[in-house]
């Protein structure tokens, strides 16, 4: 993580974090509270967010607001924008998301569509609403979550990989537009990370980076780069896959995802 003293001046005083109750979003909450950011924590599980808020306020003396929201609901982001109207948000971390694994025709179509709603539609709405506010301020940052599987198709996790391809392309597209208005957009493309993600997706994960590695790497890259692959594993796997033609990447990812699919899904 960068020790740039101007970081809070550029991206503070408050950060809104979606998916803050678990995994990567939670690691961002801790890392930003450590830097003195006031926080707005968003996820569905209010009790988990409240426990985290109490802990972070006590440890770091920051103000923490909790908003329980199911962001896959099309009404959720407009409501979130109203609820945060008076807050001085300089940084948006859009970490809420989930995946699935298995043969596409065997997966529940409602869950797959819900994934598109959360991973894509809510991200567009968040970036539009908060992008306007940040552009008006003339400064700020937006951190979005792509994935190692976001750079080509991935059989046995086809919808998830497509949502992450959407986010990668969307982030690359809005970054120069918002950059010209003083707002940095970063796409984070991790490899496997040890969080609640695999259990919900019904995936078996072997080696994995820690969520703290992802948060630290992303905050160090914010304002300096457009895409970051935090952690050794993401760099190694990303580099190896990039050597292959696109069709080869699809074959390799299919073999990997087929091996990882099959665990029972939670949540
Ligand atoms: N873990 C990995 O291997 C990995 C790799 C590449 C990219 N990513 C991406 O990184 C991001 C964070 O994933 P993670 O690993 O931290 O997963 P995680 O541990 O499962 O956390 C996901 C977070 O999203 C929230 N969430 C899920 N559904 C929601 C909904 N409908 N509305 C609001 N919040 C919701 C969850 O909270 P509630 O359950 O309380 O709602 C939780 O806080 C995701 O976009 C994921 O695609 C993860």
Whole-angstrom distance, CA of residue 11 vs CA of residue 90: 5
Instruction: Kindly list the protein residues whose Cβ atom lies closer than 6 A to any atom of ligand 1.
Output: 18-25, 43-45, 48, 69-72, 95-99, 118, 145, 147, 190, 192-193, 195-197, 200
Residue-wise pLDDT tens digits, 180-218: 999 999 999 999 999 999 999 999 988 899 999 999 999
Q: Which fold has domain 3-261?
A: Rossmann fold (3.40.50)
The verdict on pTM exceeding 0.95 is yes
SS3 140: strand
Pocket test for ligand 1, best of 113, 197, 215 (most atoms within 8 A of CB): 197
Residue-wise pLDDT tens digits, 24-42: 999 999 999 999 999 999 9
Residue-wise pLDDT tens digits, 121-176: 999 999 999 999 999 999 999 999 999 999 999 999 999 999 999 999 999 999 99
Residue 5 in this model has a pLDDT that exceeds 70: no
Question: In sequence order, what DSSP letters do the residues of 57-117 get, joined into one string?
Answer: HHHH---EEEEE--TTSTTHHHHHHHHTTTS-EEEEEE-------S-GGGS-HHHHHHHHI
Looking at residue 265, what is its pLDDT?
A: 72
Pocket test for ligand 1, best of 18, 22, 27 (most atoms within 8 A of CB): 22
CB atoms within 10 A of CB 116: 16
Residues 6+ apart with CB under 8 A from 107: 100, 159
Whole-angstrom distance, CA of residue 101 vs CA of residue 198: 9
Mean pLDDT of the chain: 95
Mean pLDDT of 49-68: 98
Looking at residue 233, what is its pLDDT?
A: 87
Residue 2 in this model has a pLDDT that exceeds 90: no
Which ligand 1 atom is at minimum distance from the Cα of 167? 45
Residue 1 in this model has a pLDDT that exceeds 50: no
Whole-angstrom distance, CA of residue 84 vs CA of residue 67: 9
């Amino acid at each position: 993580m960068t020790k740039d003293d101007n970081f809070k001046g550029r991206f503070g005083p408050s950060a809104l974090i979606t998916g803050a109750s678990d995994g990567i979003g939670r690691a961002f909450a801790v890392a930003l509270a450590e830097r003195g950011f006031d926080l707005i924590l968003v996820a569905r599980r209010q009790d988990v967010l409240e426990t985290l808020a109490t802990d972070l306020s006590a440890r770091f003396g920051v103000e923490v607001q909790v908003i329980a929201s199911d962001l896959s609901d099309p009404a959720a982001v407009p409501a979130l924008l109203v609820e945060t109207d008076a807050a001085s948000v300089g940084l948006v971390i859009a970490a809420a998301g989930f995946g699935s694994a298995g043969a596409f025709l065997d997966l529940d179509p409602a869950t797959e569509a819900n994934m598109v709603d959360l991973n894509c539609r809510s991200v567009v709405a968040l970036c539009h609403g908060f992008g306007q506010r940040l552009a008006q301020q003339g400064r700020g940052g937006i951190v979005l979550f792509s994935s190692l599987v976001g750079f080509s198709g991935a059989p046995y996790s086809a919808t998830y990989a497509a949502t992450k391809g959407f986010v990668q392309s969307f982030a690359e597209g809005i970054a120069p537009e918002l950059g010209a208005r003083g707002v940095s957009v970063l796409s984070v493309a991790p490899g496997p990370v040890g969080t609640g993600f695999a259990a919900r997706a019904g995936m078996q994960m072997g080696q994995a980076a820690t969520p703290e590695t992802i948060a630290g790497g992303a905050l160090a890259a914010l304002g300096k780069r457009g895409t970051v692959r935090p952690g050794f594993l993401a760099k190694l796997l990303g580099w190896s896959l990039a050597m292959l033609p696109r069709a080869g990447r699809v074959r390799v990812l299919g073999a990997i995802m087929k091996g990882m699919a099959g665990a029972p899904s939670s949540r």
